[in-house]
Structures are given as structure tokens and as C-alpha cells.
Amino acid sequence: MSGARQDIIDLVNLYGIAMDSQRWELFEAIFTDYVDADYGPGSHWRGLADFRRDFAAFHAPFDATQHMMTTHVVRLHGEQAHCLTYGSWRLVRHAAQGGPLWDGTGWYDDELVLTHAGWRIRKRVCRVIFATGNPRVKETLPGVTFEDTSFSLRDEDRGGQVMLLRALDAREGP
């Protein structure tokens, strides 16, 4: 595996570690200052400061979280890259009425840029495929919603919304 590909996979995996350890300063090593982070209806940020602040506040009430990043597909284009990653997550909050667990699966479609400090995500689209458990677990921050709406990769691709697949089409194949 090329060094750049491994660096990108490590960066995407570091996101899961940052989330679960609540080490929000790691976001500076993962995202650009001007990141465009689209996590679905009601959860879209433009800029690292707001994204980091809201994620810290949203995740603070959880007793534990676990984010697993898998199936990385990376395509390099000079000093830019695309990476599509499947993810699953478990959120645990014992104070939530109705049970402490909310589990979800989905995908992350990232556009990265090579900076003086290394690879950084400048645009992220995260979509939930499936969620189960107590939806009250994730009701931690007024105004920030993570909908249980399912977004299939197939349907998003048909709409031309998947950055990695658009990049593959532009370069005629993997």
C-alpha cells in the first residue's frame, strides 16, 4: 500500500479514536480549518471551530461511544484524494429513558487535500444507512439532530452525490 493511501486510512481511523476518547483537539489533525461537514438534515457545519464545538457538546453526555471505520477505498489525484469509508457506531447514555443504546451504520464520503501538515479532510458527507435502539440516547444537544433517515449509497450515487464515485467516473474506473 502506498504511503499516501495508508496516511489517509490512518487519518480516517483517527477520527474514530478522537470521537471515542473525546480528544477534540485531534480534529485539527483530521480536518481543514474550512471543513464542510455534512452529517445530514439538521447537522451541517462549515468551519472547524463550530464543527468541533458542537461535536464536543453533543458527545459530552455519553457514558461511552465506539466508532468503527472499515472498508476504506482511497483514490489519489495528486494533492487531492477521495476516500469512502463504511462505519458503525454505538452510543451509550445510561441517563436516557428507554434504554442506554443507540447503534448505527453508515458511510463517510471524504474529499481530502494535502496540506503542509499532511492530509486533511476538507469535505465530509456522512450518511446513516441503519439505526436501532433508543433514539433518546442521541438527544443531547438542542438544535443538532442526527436523523434516523436511511441514505443508501446506491440512491445517493444515482443522484450524483458521492464524491468518490464521481471521481472514479471522471478517471474512468478504479
- Tens of pLDDT along 108-134? 999 999 999 999 999 999 999 999 999
Mean of the per-residue pLDDT values of the chain: 89
Cell 438534515 sits at which residue?
Answer: 41
Three-state SS for 143? Answer: coil
With contact defined as beta carbons under 8 Å apart, do 123 and 36 qualify? Answer: yes
Residue position matching grid coordinates 444507512: 129
Q: 8: closest CA among 163, 107, 142, 115?
A: 115
Q: Domains of the chain, with CATH numbers?
A: 3-170 (3.10.450.50)
Give CA–CA dist 13/138, Å, rounded: 22
Residue among 39, 42, 16 nearest 27 (CA): 16
pLDDT confidence of residue 151: 61
User: What are the pLDDT digits (tens) for 14-64?
Assistant: 999 999 999 999 999 999 999 999 998 889 999 999 999 999 999 999 999
d(CA 82, CA 26): 20
Phi and psi dihedrals of 127, rounded to 5? -130, 140
pTM: predicted TM-score of the whole model, two decimal places: 0.85
Please check the confidence at residue 152 and state whether its pLDDT lies above 70: no
